[in-house]
Amino acid sequence: MTGSDGAVDIRNTLQRMRRRGGLPVAFGGLFSGARQFRISELTGTTTNSLRGLAITPGNGLGGKVLTMSRPISVADYPASRAISHEYDAAVGAEGLRSMLAVPVVVRGRVRGVLYGALRQPLLLGDRALTAAVESARELERVLESELAQELAVREEAQRLLTEARQRRGQPPGPQWEPSAEETDPAVWEEVREAHGDLRALAHRVPDPQLREEILTACSRLARASSGRGRQREHRNGGTGVELSPREVDVLACVASGATNSTAAERLGLRPETVKSYLRSSMRKLGAHTRLHAVVEARRAGLLP
Select 188-227+242-300's CATH number: 1.10.10.10, 3.40.50.300, 3.40.50.720, 3.30.470.20: 1.10.10.10
Residue 236 has a pLDDT of 44
Q: What percent of the chain has pLDDT over 70?
A: 76
Residue 181 has a pLDDT of 43
Residue 68 has a pLDDT of 93
Residue 175 — very low, low, confident or very high, per pLDDT cuts 50/70/90?
Answer: very low
Q: Mean pLDDT for the chain?
A: 81
Residue 170 has a pLDDT of 47
Rounded CA-CA distance 272/70 in Å is: 50
Burial 73-102 (b: 16+ CB within 10 A, else e): bbbebeebeebebebeebbeebebbbbbbb
Rounded CA-CA distance 143/107 in Å is: 10
Residue 142 has a pLDDT of 86
Does residue 163 carry a pLDDT above 80?
Answer: no
Q: Contact, 36 vs 56, CB < 8 A?
A: yes
What's the length of the chain? Answer: 304
Residue 238 has a pLDDT of 43
- Mean pLDDT on 184-210: 73
Residue 179 has a pLDDT of 44
Does residue 304 carry a pLDDT above 80?
Answer: no
Q: What percent of the chain has pLDDT over 90?
A: 40
Does residue 261 carry a pLDDT above 70?
Answer: yes
Rounded CA-CA distance 206/219 in Å is: 20
Kind of pairing between the strands at 41-43 and 54-55: unpaired
Rounded CA-CA distance 298/294 in Å is: 6
Enter the pTM of the model: 0.54
Residue-range domain boundaries for the chain? 3-150, 188-227+242-300
Q: Which own/partner pairs from 211-217 qualify as long-range (CB within 8 Å, at least 24 positions apart)?
A: 214/157, 215/245, 217/161
- Mean pLDDT on 32-40: 74
Residue 14 — very low, low, confident or very high, per pLDDT cuts 50/70/90?
Answer: very high
Does residue 300 carry a pLDDT above 70?
Answer: yes
CATH architecture of 3-150: 2-Layer Sandwich (3.30)
Kind of pairing between the strands at 72-74 and 99-106: antiparallel
